[in-house]
Amino acid sequence: MLTLGELERAVMEILWSAGAPVTARDVQDALAHRQLATTTVLTVLGRLERKGLVTRERAGRAHHYRTVASREDHVAELMRDALDAAPDRGAALARFLGSIPEDERAALRNLLD
């Protein structure tokens, strides 16, 4: 199962929210409250690229980064991975359904119909 560290998740949130490819500087500016070095941001973006979550393209002197999949696609993949790891998928699904609010169970019923 692909796991993300806290900083990787923060960077992914920025990329998902951007709506267009962004530079490492854009990411660094969005995380200004953390006072990260440019090299740290580039390292995280490189890790995300190696994990297959981000692509980069050269535009002038800078690289522009974008996500490979939407936030929803990523969450769906995590859910599939979690189910694949369960020895009893039915039991895991039952526990999951028992843990979510009724309105979300109703939404699932509607999607299944």
Confidence of residue 1 (pLDDT cuts 50, 70, 90): low
Confidence of residue 2 (pLDDT cuts 50, 70, 90): confident
The domain tally of the chain equals 2
Question: Is residue 50 pLDDT above 60, yes or no?
Answer: yes
The confidence score (pLDDT) of residue 3 equals: 80
Q: Which domain holds residue 35?
A: 6-67
Average pLDDT over residues 47-76: 95
Pair (57, 87) in one structural domain: no
Assigned domain for 63 exists: yes
Pair (51, 63) in one structural domain: yes
Pair (38, 62) in one structural domain: yes
- pTM of the complete model: 0.84
Structure letter (DSSP) for residue 104: H
Neighbours of 93 (CB within 10 A): 12
Assigned domain for 99 exists: yes
Average pLDDT over residues 52-75: 95
Pair (17, 63) in one structural domain: yes
Q: What is the pLDDT of residues 70-82, one digit of tens each?
A: 999 999 999 999 9
- Rg of the Cα atoms in the chain: 18
- N- to C-terminal Cα distance for the chain? 30
Assigned domain for 1 exists: no
Assigned domain for 59 exists: yes
Question: Mean pLDDT score of the chain, rounded to an integer?
Answer: 94
